[in-house]
């Protein structure tokens, strides 16, 4: 690609919108908009501790990860039937299609649901059906990644894996999420080893609020293929070299980091420094219904705050395809589409 310099800064917002991209870090329960939470609560007869959509939205003032997780898990309590999971994911795909997301790998938190008596089958079948329809209706390739809640025990993670294995063909990998500090990756060493034996892809949240040491153990103990967030790597030069050398992608989520006070404002986000250090950075939305924006909101606000240019847009979108878990031929096809988009803008 050599047409970056032909693209004027004035056309950057249109380019960010139009370019095809992959989303690799979206918790599907974090795409539940307040309106849908209330609609599902009514449909399922669930009583919410909020009087209105406005009331609920007003509670979205977070000080750290845990202050968000408390509200996020409460919001997920309205999901009961398979159709609820379908409707949630369908609403996400409508937004993703509008942002020209052409491939998405969706995290889901089954323990949040099975603990309330919802069957694993209900969760996975609803989400999987929405993924199949996303391909048919929007041309979006989509896959599921099952996340273990790290504030729970490894034994509970093993139990969750056993419940999910009858549906092994409906998810491509496992991840690790929820409260990070005090729950290091190595707590899940044995269950990740088992998942590796099963041929599942492996990712983990590390270095969102937690220290660089958690990123080291996610890599060396869990042997993950990508790091979710990873922004704390900046404090450890040896780790930065390791991430660059091994082309370990970071799924960075700028608006999430802003809303959870990981950075005081977007202008102080280290995404540009991570890119400049040669890391395979991607931009993602994390929990868009809670953090004030989907993919293109993340792109446009981050580009404005950090003064990023067309060449950064190309690198970020290309990284998203390279770091995805699709096959090599599909990666090449998406990157050709990306190249065509940039050539169209350069003309």
Out of 256, 270, 296, 324, the only residue in the binding site for ligand ADE (CB under 6 A) is 256
Mark whether 155 is an active-site residue: no
> Quick one: what does residue 126 bind among ligand ADE, Zn ion, none, with the CB cut-off 5 to 8 Å set by partner type?
none
Interaction pattern, residues 193-212, with ligand ADE; x per rule: CB under 6 A = ------------x--x----
Could you give the angle at the alpha carbon of 262 between the alpha carbons of 95 and 33, nearest 5°?
25
How many C-beta neighbours within 10 Å does residue 330 have?
A: 14
- Determine the 3-state secondary structure of 260 from DSSP: coil
In angstroms, what is the minimal distance from the CB of 25 to Zn ion? 6
For the segment 12-31, give every residue that binds ligand ADE (CB under 6 A).
27, 30
Radius of gyration of the chain, Cα coordinates, nearest whole angstrom: 19
d(CA 196, CA 112): 23
175 binds, among ligand ADE, Zn ion, none (CB under 5 to 8 A by kind): none
- For ligand ADE, the closer CB: 181 or 267: 181
Check residue 65 for interaction with ligand ADE (CB under 6 A).
yes
Q: In this chain, which residue has its C-beta nearest to ligand ADE?
A: 177
Catalytic residue among 208, 225, 322, 328: 208
Pick from 286, 296, 312, 345 the residue near Zn ion by CB under 5 A: 286
Q: How many residues bind Zn ion (CB under 5 A)?
A: 1
Q: How far apart are CA 282 and CA 317, in angstroms?
A: 7
Q: Closest Cα to residue 15, out of 23, 5, 7?
A: 7
Build a one-symbol-per-residue string for 29-58: x at contacts with ligand ADE by CB under 6 A, - elsewhere: -x----------------------------
> Does 111 sit near ligand ADE (CB under 6 A)?
no
Q: Say whether residue 287 binds ligand ADE (CB under 6 A).
A: yes
DSSP labels for 56-97? Answer: HHHT---SSHHHHHHHHHHHGGG--SHHHHHHHHHHHHHHHH
What DSSP designation does 116 have? T
Q: Rounded to an integer, what is the distance from CA 170 to the centroid of its chain?
A: 18
Quick count: other Cβ atoms within 10 Å of Cβ 136?
Answer: 8
Q: Are 233 and 213 in contact (CB under 8 A)?
A: no
Query: Rule CB under 5 A: which residues touch Zn ion?
Result: 286
Query: Rule CB under 6 A: which residues touch ligand ADE?
Result: 27, 30, 65, 72, 177-178, 205, 208, 256, 286-287
The residues that are catalytic are 208
């Amino acid at each position: 690609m050599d047409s970056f310099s032909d693209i004027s800064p004035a056309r950057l917002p249109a380019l960010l919108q139009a370019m095809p991209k992959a989303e690799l870090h979206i918790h599907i329960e974090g795409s539940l908009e307040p309106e849908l939470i209330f609609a599902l609560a009514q449909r399922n007869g669930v009583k919410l501790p909020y009087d209105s959509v406005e009331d609920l939205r007003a509670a979205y003032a977070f000080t750290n990860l845990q202050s968000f997780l408390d509200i996020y898990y409460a919001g997920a309590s309205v999901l009961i039937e398979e159709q609820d999971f379908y409707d949630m994911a369908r609403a996400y795909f409508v937004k993703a299609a509008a942002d020209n997301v052409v491939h998405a790998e969706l995290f889901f938190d089954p323990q949040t649901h099975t603990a309330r008596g919802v069957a694993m089958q209900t969760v996975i079948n609803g989400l999987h059906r929405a993924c199949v329809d996303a391909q048919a209706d929007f041309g979006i390739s989509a896959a599921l990644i099952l996340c273990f809640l790290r504030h729970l025990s490894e034994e509970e993670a093993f139990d969750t894996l056993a419940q999910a294995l009858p549906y092994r063909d409906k998810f491509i990998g496992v991840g690790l999420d929820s409260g990070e500090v005090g729950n290091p990756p190595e707590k899940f060493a044995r269950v990740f080893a088992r998942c590796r034996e099963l041929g599942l892809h492996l990712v983990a949240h590390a270095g969102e609020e937690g220290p660089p040491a958690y990123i080291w153990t996610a890599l060396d103990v869990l042997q993950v293929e990508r790091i979710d967030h990873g922004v704390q790597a900046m404090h450890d030069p040896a780790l930065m070299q390791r991430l660059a050398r091994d082309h370990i992608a970071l799924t960075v989520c700028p608006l999430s980091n802003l809303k959870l006070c990981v950075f005081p404002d977007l202008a102080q986000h280290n995404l540009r420094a991570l890119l400049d250090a040669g890391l395979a950075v991607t931009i993602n939305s994390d929990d868009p219904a809670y953090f004030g924006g989907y993919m293109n909101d993340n792109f446009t606000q981050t580009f404005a705050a950090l003064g990023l240019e067309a060449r950064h847009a190309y690198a970020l979108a290309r990284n998203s395809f390279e770091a995805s878990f699709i096959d090599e031929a599909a990666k090449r096809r998406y990157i050709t589409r990306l190249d065509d988009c940039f050539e169209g803008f350069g003309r």
